Structure 1
Amino acid sequence: MSDSESTSQTTRDQAIAWLLRLRDAPADAQLQRTFADWLAINPAHQTAYRQVQAQWDWLEPLKDQAFRARDEALRYRPQTHHSTWRQWPAYSAAAALLFGVGLAIFSPQGWYGLPHSYNTAKGQRQVVALSDGSELELNTDTEVRVHFNHAQRRVELIRGEAFFKVIHNADRPFSVQAGNLSVRDIGTAFDVYKQADRVSVTVQEGVVEMSVQSEHRELHAGQQLAYSDDHRFVPVIASDIAAATAWRQGQLIFNGRRLVEVLAEIGRYHDVQIRLPDPKLAELRVNGSFRTEQLDGMLNAVTALLPVNVKRIGEREIVLEAASGKR
């Protein structure tokens, strides 16, 4: 082991010890001052402590689970406070054991893996870097649950829409579960949109396999397919790759979409109810590109394109009515 490696490990052990001591005596003013002095000695101390703190926070979900390493680490208490340096080995040994067991069992590469949930509110988007190097991008009002372990990588799309850039690994397959539909990556970038009556899949790069029980469909770059709530694979109508993934640039693109569908899409991004009481207006077709964050701009564009007027009823309710003499 080189001197730098030894020093790094020593610093890490000290950081672990400090973490446990500060948790044990958070109100000890003298301890806080000594800790501040230790941080100031070397920038590497600050880096090591941040890393150890981040690992501890990552293991926080295990606080209600009992296993020997954790119990030993949390049960340890020093007999006196006279010699900080002499107490470090006992602290760091217990904590290192805790971290080692936790990372080996519960990390995304561990035997079991610990699920993580991510979600966005209406109007929000979020990009999540996954532990395997893959990337997950969440659209508005979306929730996913990520479960990685030593054998597999699985994401459950609970609601909404997400775009996946997957680092392919045949030994650890990557799959997305949306209702009854399973989407398996074969080295690709793809979009999955869970709607009330269907799950739509759009492939930007590579190949995916859509599976439901014994039925399978393979999709290649540039292709789209949906699985409906009546248990059928159905083509995606009046859409294309650019339109399906435009939300990633904060846009909505409609190519001949029915007005009722357009209003449903607009409503995903804003905390308002948009109603269309006249069923005759539902079949009007919309073409154009709109910014998702600009509700008034989208509605004004719709009224400019179609014979409808916008009527606001309170702060969170909007009604579209036929424009007089233009139906």
Structure 2
Amino acid sequence: MKSKKYEALKNLFEQYEEGSIHQSQKEIIDDWFDQHQDEEIVDLLKDPEQEARIYKELHQRVMQPIKPVGVVRKLSQATWLRAACIILLAGIAVGLYYKKHNTTIDNPALVFQTYQTGNGQVQKVELADGSTIWLNAATTLRVPTPFKQRSIYLDKGEAFFEVKHDANNPFTVTTGSIITRDIGTSFNIRAYHPETEYRVEVASGKVAVERLSNSGKSEILNRSISQGQGLVYNVTDQKSQLIAKSPELIQGWKTNGTLYLDKLTLPQIAEELSRHFKIRAIVKHPELDRHQYTINLGTMDLNTSLPELTLRTGMSYELTPDKLTINPSANGMK
């Protein structure tokens, strides 16, 4: 969903096309069109490079030094309106540019170090503040350099955090629109599809979780999630659920490679098998079985896991060296 600022700029261009825009606003856009005759305006703000250029050009217009004059005169209403429109356009461009590029106006040169894992891989990352992060398979994590504000970004995947607590400089993890704040703890965040679901589980200490709305307003989802608790948040319907889970299971994948399937459908189980065993897994006719399964496969290998899944779900399967095909049972099993 587009931001209100984006919609305001879009509406301004639409009013121009309809001829319902104020004359002073029209002059500003006419001037813009004259300078960019060969460009398509409709999708102007969808391209990051164009956003940066718009910001630069409009910013220069706003910040252009005012020439001194010998007398002070009152500006006309049209002049004030023209100036306001320029500032509005610049503000919109600035906001869109910095929001989309995950940085701030105070620090436009923020640089990230990116860590990525592939299927079947687990990586340990040690931070400058003494905190440690383990990345599960198929995970992308960004850490700002230098690491001063202790705010990192889990773009996709699963990661376990052992945080060195500092009350004066809290540790935060941003995943999509969700921010997790450390309150002296170790915790696991799972978000392989951050646009639909987020899950945090606490192995020790506490965390607080909040959500940022499209307008940038913060909404507290839970102020204190304690050891052995987790929060599952459905991004689509914006509903959260508090769950219980043992600390051993929370960090099992990190400590001994445990594969724990927690309330997953067969397509989700196929994704887990792909990531864990580094094999392409698909489900034929997933509509035949929509049940959710909770199965602890422990440290079983693939050849041992598949018969167990067959027993627990009623599925059948075909396995080749590079592909696993799962065939759901027409009845499924709870």
Report the TM range for the smaller structure's normalisation.
Answer: 0.5 to 0.7
SS of aligned partner of 1:268: helix
* Cα deviation digits, residues 195-248 of structure 1 (max 9, x gap): 322111111111111111331112121111122222624226685543333211
After TM superposition, the score normalised by the length of structure 1 is: 0.57
Structure-1 residue corresponding to 2:178: 181
1:231–1:195 distance in 2 versus 1, CA, 3 Å: farther
1:185–1:237 distance in 2 versus 1, CA, 3 Å: closer
Cα deviation for residue 255 of structure 1 reads 6.0
Q: Show the 5 A alignment for 1:141-290.
A: 141-147=138-144, 149=146, 151-196=148-193, 197-213=196-212, 214-216=218-220, 217-218=222-223, 219-230=225-236, 232-235=238-241, 240-248=246-254, 249-254=256-261, 257-269=264-276, 270-283=278-291, 285-290=293-298
After TM superposition, the score normalised by the length of structure 2 is: 0.56
1:164–1:305 distance in 2 versus 1, CA, 3 Å: same
Amino acid at match of 2:112: P
Q: CA RMSD in A?
A: 3.0
Contact 1:168 1:186 in 2 (8 A): yes
Cα deviation for residue 307 of structure 1 reads 2.6
Amino acid at match of 1:303: T
Gaps of 5+ in 2: 1-108, 213-217
Identity across the alignment (%): 27
1:221–1:239 distance in 2 versus 1, CA, 3 Å: closer
User: Hey, what's the Cα distance between the residues in 2 that align with 1:256 and 1:182?
Assistant: 24
Q: Across the two proteins, how many residue pairs are aligned to each other?
A: 214
Amino acid at match of 1:287: I
Kindly indicate which of the two structures has a greater share of residues assigned to helix.
1
Contact 1:260 1:282 in 2 (8 A): no
Q: Show the 5 A alignment for 1:50-199.
A: 115-147=112-144, 149=146, 151-196=148-193, 197-199=196-198
Gaps of 5+ in 1: 1-111
1:188–1:324 distance in 2 versus 1, CA, 3 Å: closer
SS of aligned partner of 1:168: coil
SS of aligned partner of 1:187: coil
Contact 2:202 2:250 in 1 (8 A): no
Cα deviation for residue 194 of structure 1 reads 1.0
* Cα deviation digits, residues 242-265 of structure 1 (max 9, x gap): 333321120112466544433332
Amino acid at match of 2:198: V
Contact 1:191 1:201 in 2 (8 A): yes
SS of aligned partner of 2:144: strand
Contact 2:121 2:137 in 1 (8 A): yes
Contact 1:181 1:227 in 2 (8 A): no
User: Hey, what's the Cα distance between the residues in 2 that align with 1:194 and 1:122?
Assistant: 15
1:258–1:243 distance in 2 versus 1, CA, 3 Å: farther
Contact 2:281 2:326 in 1 (8 A): no
1:244–1:266 distance in 2 versus 1, CA, 3 Å: farther
Structure-1 residue corresponding to 2:14: none
User: Hey, what's the Cα distance between the residues in 1 that align with 2:327 and 2:133?
Assistant: 39
Contact 2:289 2:332 in 1 (8 A): no
1:317–1:147 distance in 2 versus 1, CA, 3 Å: same
Instruction: Indicate yes or no: 2:300 matched with 1:296.
Output: no
